[in-house]
Structure 1
Amino acid sequence: MLFTAIVTAALASAAFVGVNAESHTVHFVNNCGRGTPLLKAGGATLSTGGDYTSNGPLISAIAFLQTGSCGDNGEGCTLIETTLKNPTSPGSGSSTDISLIPPHAFSVTSGFGYYNGCDGAGADCTNANCPTAFHQPGDTGVQVACQVDNVNLAITFCD
């Protein structure tokens, strides 16, 4: 009887942990009619346009539309940078931005928005003078934060 109670408690605990595990999904919409959306982290390609779900935090990922003229890390193209993670203290959650810091440059209209939390928070960049993008490293005011567990990110090209 005690064994059954322990097994039941262990299974309930494992189910609780599984339900509360951290995960984040990055979803792409490519309205350009050309190119391949790429999501990369640590030099590895995580997605070529399909949804990507991380089981845990997604740290220092980059996304761009590879049109044939972008470098391996989006050089020459509009870059979206993101870290998606559950906050462990105030201000330590997710952050996403658009970068046009050289060697990156405007290539296609690009934007992002959080969903499943912080809905409506995001940014769009429609031209090279985009005020919502980093143009130099000190432009930290363009970062869009989200302090919600398990938030997801939609990235759109040519919208």
Structure 2
Amino acid sequence: MFSSICATTFALIVVAAGKALAETHTVTFNNNCHTGTPTLISQTGQVLSTGGAYTINGPLRGAIAYLQTGSCGFNGEGCTLVETTLVNPTTDGSGSSTDLSLIPPHAFSVTTGFGYIGACAPAGADCNNAGCTTAFHKSSDTQVQVPCQQDNANLVITFCL
């Protein structure tokens, strides 16, 4: 009896560990501007991508993306910013969230949009002018956040829609 309980417990731990290890997220870029460099920066300031698809095995927390046109600061200052956290939900409301930001020192630079790929598609947002209502203009504009409550959320970011 005891060995049967141990075997069952071990099997559940292996399945749970396998599921946790299987978390993966990919951010891809679609640069229709044909100029500039799509840039993805981690929460810790590491450049993760300068145009190519970026895949992480695990969560991606607090990343930012923008089209470096030569006038953007390292953290996207002066440009349209995409902010994202891609994480598998563990409770209701704890999954991925992505938004556009024009909160100063960020400012409209090029039309920018994003969309989830897969289970949360077609959820996303586009911003095509400095007054767009789909972007943060002040920190209380939380209604512009676009959630995804599915595992392994992937994101495509498009410039010059």
TM-score normalised per structure 2: 0.88
Q: Is the CA contact 1:75–1:105 (under 8 Å) kept in the aligned structure 2?
A: yes
Give the letter aligned to residue 33 of structure 1.
H
Q: Which runs of 5+ in 1 are unaligned?
A: 1-5
Residues 1:33 and 2:34 are matched in the alignment: yes
Query: SS of 1:75's equivalent?
Result: coil
Task: Tell me, yes or no, if the aligned pair for 1:117 and 1:152 is still in contact at 8 Å.
Answer: no
Q: CA RMSD in A?
A: 1.8
Is contact 1:95–1:145 with CA below 8 Å preserved after alignment?
yes
Instruction: Compute the displacement of 1:116 (Å).
Output: 1.7
Matches of 2:34 and 2:60, distance apart in 1: 28
Return the match for 2:47 from 37, 45, 48. Answer: 45
**Please, which runs of 5 or more residues in structure 2 have no aligned partner?**
1-6
One-letter amino acid matched to 2:69: T
TM-superposed deviation, 1:107: 0.1
| C-alpha distance in structure 2 between counterparts of 1:19 and 1:63, whole Å | 26
In the TM superposition, residue 17 of structure 1 has moved relative to its aligned partner by 1.6
In 2, Cα distance between the equivalents of 1:105 and 1:153? 22
CA–CA distance in structure 2, aligned partners of residues 19 and 31 of structure 1: 36
Distance 1:72 1:19, change over 3 A: closer
Measured in 1, the distance between the counterparts of 2:88 and 2:117 equals: 14
Identity of aligned residues (%): 67
Query: What secondary structure does 2:47 align onto?
Result: strand
Match status 1:155 vs 2:160:
no
- Displacement of 1:40: 0.4
In 2, the alpha carbon distance for the partners of 1:40 and 1:139 equals: 23
2:131 pairs with 1:114 = no
Cα 1:19/1:135, change in 2 over 3 Å: closer
2:60 counterpart of 1:58: yes
Alignment coverage as a number of residue pairs: 149
Amino acid at match of 1:61: A
Letter in 2 for 1:82: T
Tell whether the 8 Å contact from 1:24 to 1:53 is kept in structure 2 after alignment: yes
